[in-house]
Amino acid sequence: MAPFLASLAHDDLAPATLRGYRYDLRHFLAWHRTVQDRPFTLEGLAEYELIAYRQHMVAADRRPATVNRRLDALRRLCRWARGTGALAADAAHDVRPMRTTRNRQPVGLTEIEVHALLRAAGASSHGLAARNYAMVQLMLQAGLRVGEVAALAVADITMNDRSGGVRIRQGKGLKAREVPLNATARRALKQHLERRQAPGKDAALFVSSRETAMPVRTIQAVITSLARRARLKRVAVSAHTLRHTFALGYLRDNPGRLVELASLLGHESLDTTAIYTRPSRDDLAADLERSHLNVDG
pLDDT tens, N- to C-terminus, the chain (297 residues): 788 888 887 776 777 788 888 999 999 999 999 998 888 888 888 899 999 999 999 999 888 888 999 999 999 999 999 888 888 888 888 898 887 665 578 899 999 999 999 999 999 998 899 999 999 999 999 999 999 999 999 999 999 988 999 999 876 666 789 999 999 999 999 999 998 876 888 999 999 988 899 999 999 999 999 999 999 999 999 999 999 999 999 999 999 999 999 999 999 888 888 889 887 777 777 778 887 777 776
Is the separation of the CB atoms in 108 and 281 below 8 Å?
A: no
pTM (2 decimals)? 0.69
Q: Residue 103: what pLDDT?
A: 56
Q: Residue 179: what pLDDT?
A: 96
Closest CA to 166 of 246, 271, 237, 222: 246
User: If 0-12 CB within 10 Å is exposed, 13-18 middle and 19+ buried, where does residue 158 land?
Assistant: middle
Closest CA to 22 of 37, 38, 45, 6: 6
Q: Give the residues across from 207 on adjacent strands.
A: 213
Q: Residue 131: what pLDDT?
A: 96
Q: Which residues of 64-79 are buried (b: 16+ CB within 10 A; e: fewer)?
A: eeebbbbbebbbbbbe
H-state helical runs in the chain = 2-10, 15-35, 47-59, 64-84, 111-122, 129-142, 146-150, 183-195, 216-229, 239-253, 258-265, 270-273, 281-289
